[in-house]
Amino acid sequence: MELYEAIKARASVREYSGSPVEKAAIKRILKAGTLAPSGKNGQIWRFAVVQKNKKLLREIADCTVYKDFVRAADCLICVYLDKEESYHYIKDCQAVGACIQNMLLAATEEKLGACWLGEILNRAADVRKLLKVDDRYELMAVIALGKPTFRKTPRTTRKPLKECMLLNK
């Protein structure tokens, strides 16, 4: 898929068919994440992937108000920031954001449905306990991943570019 096409095609998908996602596709998505830029090439992103253990997947899903659709995902990619390797908090959070967007675009290329979950950060402590992740890692987001249903996701609107412009001299 051409890059602009993928950027346009990406949309949050919140309905999954229940079919399994290929392990190889998940690996390609994670690798795409690691190709993101990061301050000083620090690569402070870390991933906890939950796919096989459906009980654990449901327990993590239950940590967000969006649990109904998250429980139907086949895979959850929990994205962490390694605080011990971090050199500048804001810049490292931005790098993790770039990593997440790369993964969302890769999921689009793989014809998978994906949704960036931020609300779950309210229950980051519970997610940590479930995953048994050390507290040097801070949860940045969870990506819900699954084969999409045939129903087309309605496109969200965007502000006209003019409204986003502060200056163009």
Ligand X SMILES: Cc1cc2nc3c(=O)[nH]c(=O)nc-3n(C[C@H](O)[C@H](O)[C@H](O)COP(=O)(O)O)c2cc1C
Q: Interacting stretch for ligand X, rule CB under 6 A, among 33-41, 55-63, 82-90, 114-122?
A: 114-122
The reply to whether 47 sits near ligand X by the rule CB under 6 A is no
The reply to whether 66 sits near ligand X by the rule CB under 6 A is yes
- Phi and psi for 45 in degrees, rounded to 5? -75, 145
Exactly one of 7, 8, 9, 12 binds ligand X (CB under 6 A); which one? 12
The reply to whether 157 sits near ligand X by the rule CB under 6 A is no
For 52, counting Cβ atoms within 10 Å of its Cβ (0-12 exposed, 13-18 middle, 19+ buried), the class is: exposed
- Write out the two tokens for 152: 């087309």
The reply to whether 117 sits near ligand X by the rule CB under 6 A is yes
Task: Please state, as a whole number, how many other Cβ atoms lie within 10 Å of the Cβ of residue 84.
Answer: 8
- Number of chain residues interacting with ligand X (CB under 6 A): 10
CA distances from 17 to 34, 60, 63 (A): 28, 19, 22
14 or 46, CB closer to ligand X? 14
User: Any idea which residue has 């229950």 for tokens?
Assistant: 123
The reply to whether 116 sits near ligand X by the rule CB under 6 A is yes
The reply to whether 119 sits near ligand X by the rule CB under 6 A is yes
Alpha helices in the chain, H assignment, sequence order: 3-9, 23-34, 54-61, 67-70, 89-109, 124-131, 161-164
Exactly one of 50, 60, 95, 115 binds ligand X (CB under 6 A); which one? 115
Q: Interacting stretch for ligand X, rule CB under 6 A, among 24-32, 49-57, 113-121, 161-169?
A: 113-121
Binding region for ligand X (CB under 6 A): 11-12, 14, 66, 115-119, 156
